[in-house]
Amino acid sequence: MLITEMNAITIADDLVEFLENHPSYSACVHSVFPHAVNLLIGEDELITFTNQDDIMPMGLIVDSSVSFTQHLKIGEKVVLNIDRFAAANGVFIVTLRDAEIWETHPFISPAPRPGDEVAQINLQLVRWVVRQPALGLLPLLPRLTNQPAYLNPMNDNLYSRYIADDLEAFTAAIGTSDWEDALNIADRLVGFGMGSTPACDDFLAAYLVVFKTALALDPQRFSWVREFNKAIANKAKNRTTLISAIMLRHAADGKIGRSYQRLIQTCMFNIKSDLAYLASQVMQHGATSGGDFLLGLVCALNWYRNNATDFQKEGERAWAESISLKPVPMV
């Protein structure tokens, strides 16, 4: 019997925690692709491992270039332990011992960008995105960002035309802090599109992660985020695919794939990175998933920019007041 062995390069911290608490857990192969495998644990959680240079929450990267379809089939059992994954039939093993651990939760820098810097970064991102193929929801970029002056018209498609009004209404409701209306509109967005992660789910995931990051920066001001994000994740349970529902649940908790995470961190915090390169890494996901996420991100950053500007002004005013109240030092 020929045994295929692989080594994990990187593993998500939430997966490490799961394995520590669930020794010898039996998972089932949910779906297999040439470069990725999804293992079902319980009824509503997936472990994703891949041989490409990205990692998702509850995921890992392995050092193999072979197609996973040669080694695993849907329905097969895989036994999970803290040091390795092994197919129940013994022909497939992934060793975890020397893997680097990736932190899934968003990095909160002590130096978030002020609103005007976020606006500049977002403008650069919009200008990069508009030069990409207008697939999925991307034809709606000029309409949803309200910046048609420098954007060339983009060829639309049936899906983007159909959902355009709802997406515009959703972004408008978010902009006016009408959370109830936004959640009602989300009923028509969750699950809309094709593929394992429908287009509008990718769009919404960007919003959820930006909201969660804002909550981490100012828990009192953005306290509504917990309820809003949870509501979107709950809607996804019965309205979309299992893979996408899990993605939205992770996003509601502020967790997203590493390439997405790095781009969001660069946009929101004082981190020097190549914006175009990070965007291109996100753009490579799926047929349209990366582009749909980028559209959601530029819209969410518009919202954050406005709120970050207000927050910065409040912080400066509070700082000035605290200085004025201090006694003048005596020589």
Least confident of 8-22, 33-47, 298-312: 298-312
Q: Where are the beta strands (DSSP E) in the chain?
A: 4-12, 25-33, 36-41, 45-50, 59-62, 77-80, 84-87, 92-95, 100-102
Q: Class for domain 4-102, per CATH? A: mainly beta
pLDDT band for 295, please (50, 70, 90 cuts). Answer: very high
Return the pLDDT at 148: 61
Task: State yes or no: pLDDT of 331 exceeds 80.
Answer: no
Contact of 237 with 36, CB cutoff 8 Å: no
**Is pTM beyond 0.85 here?**
yes
Return all residues near 81 (Cβ < 8 A) that are at least 6 apart. 19, 23, 24, 25
Band of the pLDDT at 329, cuts 50, 70, 90? very low
Query: How many C-beta atoms lie closer than 10 Å to residue 31's C-beta?
Result: 16
**CB-side neighbour CA atoms (13 Å) of 113:** 21
Residue 326: is its pLDDT beyond 60?
Answer: no
Task: Record the tokens describing residue 200, joined without a space.
Answer: 């509008």
- Judged against a pLDDT cut of 80, whether residue 109 lies above it is answered with no
Of residues 53 and 328, the one with the higher pLDDT is 53
Q: Are 29 and 85 in contact (CB under 8 A)?
A: no
Q: Which residue has the tokens 């990725």?
A: 36
Per domain, the residue ranges of the chain are 4-102, 115-317
Give tens-digit pLDDT for 241-292: 999 999 999 999 999 999 999 999 999 999 989 999 999 999 999 889 999 9
Q: How confident is the model at residue 323 (pLDDT cuts 50, 70, 90)?
A: very low
Contact present, 111 and 312 (Cβ < 8 Å): no
Reported as a single tens digit per residue, the pLDDT across 17-64 is 999 999 999 999 999 999 999 999 999 999 999 999 899 999 999 998
Q: Which two tokens stand for residue 83?
A: 């040091």
Hey, what are 284's tokens? 């490579």
What is the identity of the amino acid at 36?
A: A
